[in-house]
Structure 1
Amino acid sequence: MKDWVRSMNGLWNIQPAQFAIEQVHNLSMADQKPGCCVCMIFFNEKADNFDWGDDDTAFSSSVSHVAGTSEDQRLRVLCPEMCFACSSDNPTPDLGNWAVGSDGRSPILNCVSCKIAVHASCYGEDPATAPEDWKCNRCKDEDWQAVCCLCNLRGGALKPTTTGHWAHIVCAMSITEVSFQDIKLRSPIDVTNISPARLKLKCYYCRSFIKTSPKYASCIQCSVGKCALSFHVTCAKAAGVMMEPSDWPYPVYATCCKHPFANRDIIRRGSLKGVSTGERVIAKHKNSRFYEAEVIGEREQMFCHVNFYDNSFSENLFPEDIVSHNISRDRPPAAGDKVKVLWTDGVVYDGAYVKDSFIKIYDVEFQDASVVTVKREDIYRKGEEIPKKVRTKLSVASDMRHQDFYGNQVIGEKHRQVTSRYATPSAENTDQSDSSSSEMKD
C-alpha cells in the first residue's frame, strides 16, 4: 500500500468514523504551509515561489490560530476568488472578497471542535464577527459522522449541500458542474448538475481498495493534453498531484502522476512552430476572445514575470510596468526581490519578481482592422488543434453566428470574462485540451 494511503488511515469513508483521527489530521494541516486546509490544494513546497517572510513563524505546533486578533494570524491566501465564483449561471460575478486585505492575507479561523484551520475568505466567514470559540458549519450541526459526498475522505473544511449532505470546499470548487449558491458564504453547495458521464469516472488512486462511493462522488481529470486520467480531488492532493488555479470553465488545473513536472505554459510552447508574416491564423483579441486574423509583423520583446500575494501572477508585464525599478536604465531585479507593479486599473500592487525573458511577439490584424500584439501561444495556425477551452471563445467579426476558421460551428457565449485585477492574456487561458476519445474531459 502506498505511503500516502497509509497517511490517510482512519479517514476513508469505508472505515468507521473516528472523529479523534479527523482532529489529529486537521491539526496537522493547520501547522503546515499555507495554514489553510482549503488553500492547501494549491500549495507545493518545491514549486512555491513566494518569499513567505514573517509568515514562516505562524507554522509551528506551538502557535494557536484564533480569528483575526493579531497581524501574525493573517496568512497569505492561495485561492483566487474566481475559483469560487466560476459559473455559467453567473456571467459577471463580483470577484472582490471583503475578508482579504490589500496584502493578499486573510485571518485564520480555527474550529474549536474539529480543529480545521481555514482562511475566513476561503470559508466564507466574516472575521469581524467570528468568536474566539468559533465552530465550522459541520460542528455547529454536531454531525460527527459527516462525509464528503464528492470524494472518499473525511476531514477538512465541509459545507452543506443542497441535497442535505456535506461536501469539501476544495472538491466543490474543482468540479465544473458544482457551484456555490451563495458565493460569499461558500454555501450551500449545489451538486445536482453533475453530468452522468462524470459520475461514471473512476478514481485512479482509490479505486483499487474502495469498491463503493457516495451517490455524488465525482472525479476531475488531468488537464495535460488529451490525458483522461481521473481522480478525486482529495485523493489526488494526498498522492502529490500538482494543482494550480486556472480559468473558467476549469477553475483548477491538475497534472496527474504521469506528468509530474508538466508546466502548462511550456507544454504548448515546446511544440509550437513559427508563423510567417501574411499567414492567416486564429488569434486572441484584447477582449479575451479568438478571431480570424492576419500576421503583419514580428519582433522580440522583454517581459517580466511577477508573483502577487494572492497567488495570482503576471508573466506579461512590460519593464515600465514595474514602477519600483528603472529596468530600462538599471539591471532587472533579482529573483525574489519585492517589486511594485502599476496595474491596468491604475493601482500599484506589491509582488515578488520571478524572472524576465525575451519572447518573440507578433502583430496581428483582425477583420475589423484592429491590430493587437500577441505571443505565439495565443495564435493557432491552420491545422493546429484548438483546445475545447479556446473553442468556447471563438467568435466572428459580426454578431451573427457563422462558420469559424476551421469550419466548425461557433459556440454561443455562456461563459464569463475573468475580471480579476491580476488577470492577464496569457497561455494559461489557452492550454486546456479536448479529449474526444475519453468519456469526458475536464
Structure 2
Amino acid sequence: MKEMLGGCCVCSDENGWTDNPLIYCDGPDCEVAVHQGCYGIQEVPEGEWLCAKCTASSSCTNGAQTNGEPNGKIPVRCDLCPSSYGALKRTEKHGWAHVICALYIPEVRFGDVHSMDPVILADVPADRFEKTCYICAAEGNNEAANIGACMSCNKTGCKRGFHVTCAQQRGLLCEEGGINRNVKYCGYCEHHVRKAAQDPSIKVIPPCRVRGHQQQPTPPSSNNSGHMLVDLLPRPEQVNTVLGLSSQPHPPAPSDEPSSVFSPPLTTSSRSTTASHFPNP
C-alpha cells in the first residue's frame, strides 16, 4: 500500500473524517490526495482509487492514444494554469482543470454539483486569460506567466493577477467571512496577504505541498490554524439550481473581482446532513 503523506490537494487539510475521508490516488507516481467532498467522490471504493487523470491514463493502451508518452501516460495541463500536478477534473471540452482553480475563478461552474464533473469554463471572460501572473513573472518564467487564467488580488485598488495554483502554493488563498455566515473565496498578493491575515473574518488557507514545486513559507497569521472556515463546496450559483433555492443578496465585495461566495458555510460534521437535501443524481 502506498505510504500516505501530505494533505488534501484542494483544501490543504491533512486530516480526514469518517464522513469525509482523505483519499490517496493509487496511480503510479501520483501524489494526489483529496477529501471525498473536495473532489466530488460519490462513493469511496473498498479497493484502489484513481484520480481523474490516472483514470484517463489507465484507459489508454497504446502510444498513439497517448501522443507517444511512455507507460500509458497522457499529457495533461490545467486549462486555467500552467500546472499539471494536483487534483484535476475534465472540462466540458475534454480539457483539464484543477478543482481548486474551478473554485477560485468566479465564473467557473460544475456540470454536476455532486460529482463536480465536468468543469464548465464557457463563462470565463477572455480578459482573465489575458492577465499575467505576477508570481510566475517574478520568478522569470514569462512563458508560464501568460498561460491560463488569473484571479486578482482582493485588496481594493490592487491590480496584481496570479494563477490560483501559484497562490495556493504560497498560502495566498483565503476565505472571507460575510453576513449571514456567507463565505467568499478570494486571494491576496504577497504584499497584501499579511495585513489581510490580521482580519478575524479572513482565514488564510495553508500552502499546499505540490510535487515539483518548492514549499513556500506560510504568511504569519494568528488565524492560520490550518482549519478552513468551510469545506470546499460549489458556490451558490452552482448548487442552488439543484436545491431549488435562490442566492441570498450580498453586499458588494471590496474588490475588482466578481463576488464568489458560499451560502451557507458547511462544516465537515454538517456535510452528511446537508447532503440529504440534494436529489439523487
**Given the two structures, how large is their TM-score scaled by the length of structure 2?**
0.60
Please report how far the alpha carbon of residue 147 of structure 1 lies from its aligned counterpart in structure 2 after TM superposition. Answer: 0.9
Please report how far the alpha carbon of residue 246 of structure 1 lies from its aligned counterpart in structure 2 after TM superposition. Answer: 3.6
Could you tell me which residue of structure 2 aligns to residue 419 of structure 1?
264
Q: Is the 8 A contact 2:80 2:149 kept in 1?
A: yes
Find 2:11's aligned residue among 39, 48, 56. 39
* Alpha-carbon distance between aligned partners in 2 of 1:257 and 1:416, rounded to the nearest angstrom: 22
Could you tell me which residue of structure 1 aligns to residue 50 of structure 2?
135
* 1:146 equivalent in alignment to 2:38: no
* Alpha-carbon distance between aligned partners in 1 of 2:104 and 2:82, rounded to the nearest angstrom: 15
* Alpha-carbon distance between aligned partners in 2 of 1:125 and 1:206, rounded to the nearest angstrom: 32
> SS at 2:136's partner residue?
coil
Q: Is the 8 A contact 1:202 1:231 kept in 2?
A: yes
Give the alignment of 1:189-228 within 5 angstroms: 189-207=119-137, 208-211=140-143, 217-228=148-159
* Alpha-carbon distance between aligned partners in 2 of 1:175 and 1:160, rounded to the nearest angstrom: 16
* 1:115 equivalent in alignment to 2:31: yes
Could you tell me which residue of structure 1 aligns to residue 110 of structure 2?
180
Give the greater-gyration-radius structure (CA): 1
Please report how far the alpha carbon of residue 421 of structure 1 lies from its aligned counterpart in structure 2 after TM superposition. Answer: 5.5
* Alpha-carbon distance between aligned partners in 2 of 1:147 and 1:233, rounded to the nearest angstrom: 14
Q: What do residues 269-319 of structure 1 show as CA deviations (whole Å, max 9, x unaligned)?
A: xxxxxxxxxxxxxxxxxxxxxxxxxxxxxxxxxxxxx99997328xxxxxx
> SS at 1:244's partner residue?
strand
1:213/1:161 CA distance change after superposition, 3 Å? farther
Could you tell me which residue of structure 1 aligns to residue 195 of structure 2?
262
Could you tell me which residue of structure 1 aligns to residue 185 of structure 2?
252
Where does structure 1 differ by over 3 angstroms across 4 or more consecutive aligned residues?
Answer: 212-215, 246-251, 264-268, 306-310, 414-417
Could you tell me which residue of structure 2 aligns to residue 237 of structure 1?
168
Q: What do residues 78-97 of structure 1 show as CA deviations (whole Å, max 9, x unaligned)?
A: xxxxxxxxxxxxxxxxxxxx
Q: Show structure 1 runs of 5+ residues with no match.
A: 1-26, 44-58, 60-73, 77-99, 269-305, 314-386, 392-413, 423-442
> SS at 1:167's partner residue?
strand
Letter in 2 for 1:134: W
* Alpha-carbon distance between aligned partners in 1 of 2:187 and 2:56, rounded to the nearest angstrom: 33
1:154/1:415 CA distance change after superposition, 3 Å? closer
Please report how far the alpha carbon of residue 213 of structure 1 lies from its aligned counterpart in structure 2 after TM superposition. Answer: 7.2
* Alpha-carbon distance between aligned partners in 2 of 1:133 and 1:125, rounded to the nearest angstrom: 13
Q: Is the 8 A contact 2:135 2:145 kept in 1?
A: no
Please report how far the alpha carbon of residue 214 of structure 1 lies from its aligned counterpart in structure 2 after TM superposition. Answer: 8.2
> SS at 1:261's partner residue?
helix
Q: Is the 8 A contact 2:87 2:98 kept in 1?
A: yes
**Given the two structures, how large is their TM-score scaled by the length of structure 1?**
0.39
Q: Show structure 2 runs of 5+ residues with no match.
A: 58-72, 202-222, 231-250, 268-281
Q: Give aligned pairs, total.
A: 200
1:186/1:246 CA distance change after superposition, 3 Å? farther
Tell me how large the CA RMSD over aligned residues is: 3.7
> SS at 2:195's partner residue?
coil
Give the alignment of 1:10-409 within 5 angstroms: 31-32=5-6, 35-40=7-12, 75=16, 101=19, 106-113=20-27, 114-128=30-44, 130-142=45-57, 144-207=74-137, 208-211=140-143, 217-238=148-169, 240-246=170-176, 251-263=184-196, 266=199, 311-312=228-229, 388-389=252-253
* Alpha-carbon distance between aligned partners in 1 of 2:266 and 2:34, rounded to the nearest angstrom: 23
* Alpha-carbon distance between aligned partners in 2 of 1:189 and 1:234, rounded to the nearest angstrom: 16
Q: Is the 8 A contact 1:109 1:118 kept in 2?
A: yes
1:415/1:224 CA distance change after superposition, 3 Å? closer
1:309/1:233 CA distance change after superposition, 3 Å? closer
Structure richer in strand, relative to its length:
1
Q: Is the 8 A contact 1:174 1:251 kept in 2?
A: no
Q: Is the 8 A contact 1:171 1:234 kept in 2?
A: yes
Letter in 1 for 2:253: K
Q: Is the 8 A contact 1:160 1:167 kept in 2?
A: yes
Identity of aligned residues (%): 26
Q: What do residues 52-83 of structure 1 show as CA deviations (whole Å, max 9, x unaligned)?
A: xxxxxxx7xxxxxxxxxxxxxx616xxxxxxx
1:417/1:156 CA distance change after superposition, 3 Å? closer
Letter in 2 for 1:111: C
Please report how far the alpha carbon of residue 108 of structure 1 lies from its aligned counterpart in structure 2 after TM superposition. Answer: 1.6
* Alpha-carbon distance between aligned partners in 2 of 1:211 and 1:309, rounded to the nearest angstrom: 33
